[in-house]
Structures are given as structure tokens and as C-alpha cells.
A and B are shown apart, each in its own frame.
Chain A
Amino acid sequence: KAGVTQTPRYLIKTRGQQVTLSCSPISGHRSVSWYQQTPGQGLQFLFEYFSETQRNKGNFPGRFSGRQFSNSRSEMNVSTLELGDSALYLCASSRDSYEQYFGPGTRLTVT
């Protein structure tokens, strides 16, 4: 069974630009969650989607947004990038939001 895939794996952007990251969940999983991981703040919850609906979000500014498509694939977007947005962005999928399986992450560097 294929795992969670995230694209791209690495990304370098300039301050002020925007970026879109993609996540393909495990087949049959309808819940997708996004997390930001940094050395200083650790792993922080961004938002969770289920059947194309955002069910909750963490304490991040509105520059961080996401969406989920009918095939459960999800994207997250960060607009007006700041240096502090440099991080590993992880996506996790699950059938019912309990047992989450993580992808390898997208390493975003903002210069």
C-alpha cells in the first residue's frame, strides 16, 4: 500500500513570494492534516481537512491556507513568505483522524 506522498520534497523561495505544497494521502484515507516543524517551535498543527472541509486550524496567521479535493488530495498555500516560514511541512493522513500516517515532508527554505 503506497504511503503518503508530498511534493515537492525541497523548495527555495524568496521573501514575499507564495508557495503551494501538495499532499496525496494513503488510498482510502479521507482526513489530511498539516504540520509545521521547526527547530525552535517543534511540531505545530496547521489545519485538518476531511471530505473537503476544514474541521479545525492551529494558531497560524491567515497567510497559511489549505484545501482538500474530492479525491482527498490536499494542498497548502503560504502567501507573502517570511524568513520564519522556513520549515519542514508535514502532511498526515488517516481514515478517521486518529491513527495518522505522515509523509516525508517538504523542506521549505525562504531567503
Chain B
Amino acid sequence: LAKTTQPISMDSYEGQEVNITCSHNNIATNDYITWYQQFPSQGPRFIIQGYKTKVTNEVASLFIPADRKSSTLSLPRVSLSDTAVYYCLVGVSGTYKYIFGTGTRLKVLA
């Protein structure tokens, strides 16, 4: 079963691009990766989801290399309001089971 790890924390400045990586071993071909943002005392908020290569939406990009042992969330031009904890989630295909990463606390500085 997949085990997911993330860096504990990251600091960035406003306007910079931030890349947060999630390491996940033993994920199967059809397992999908989802990234969430969580503010204190709130539930996680969906950011982006993908299976392979690259996915982009209006707020972020998700890169998954061919070996699928990691995935990277890319946030372009972060602002102070992006200060939050970011989690990756592995959805184990066909099992309806979900494994969250350890979470990365992103602090955006002015």
C-alpha cells in the first residue's frame, strides 16, 4: 500500500512560484493523486487531481513523472493568502481507500 511523505514546511515570498513534492512508493497505474489546501479550523479544499504527466487548472499545476514515485504541486505567483497546509492524497484505485500525505506547511512572506 502506498505511503506518502511530504516536506514538513516551506517558506516563500509573494509572487514566487512554489513547488511542493509528495513522495509515494508502490502506487499502482490507476491510482490517482489529489492535492488539497487546508486553513486552520477548516476542511481541506480541493486544488487539483491527476493520474500522470501534467495537469493544469486555473490555480495550480500537477506534475507526475513516468515512474509515478512522486508528484509535484506547482503554485504560480503565490500570495499571502496561500499560507496554509498542503496535502497530497493517493486514491487507491478500485479499493475506495485514501491515503493522505503528511502535509506541508507553506508560509508566504511579504
Contact = CB atoms under 8 A, between A and B. Distances in A.
Contacts of A104: 41-43
A interface SS class: strand
Given A99-B46, A100-B46, A33 B98 contact: yes
A90 B98 contact: no
B98 A101 contact: no
Contacts of B97: 45, 48, 56, 58
Contacts of B103: 42-43
Interface residues of A, number: 25
Interface in A64-90: 90
Interface residues of B, number: 21
A78 B41 CA distance: 21
Interface in A43-62: 43-45, 48, 50, 55-56, 58
B interface SS class: strand
Contacts, number: 57
Interface in B93-110: 95-100, 102-103
Nearest to A6: B43
B91 A98 contact: yes
A103 B43 contact: yes
Interface of B: 32, 34, 36, 41-46, 49, 87, 89, 91, 95-100, 102-103
18 contacts: A33-B98, A42-B100, A43-B87, A44-B100, A45-B99, A48-B97, A55-B96, A98-B34, A98-B91, A99-B49, A100-B46, A100-B98, A101-B46, A102-B44, A102-B45, A102-B46, A105-B41, A105-B43
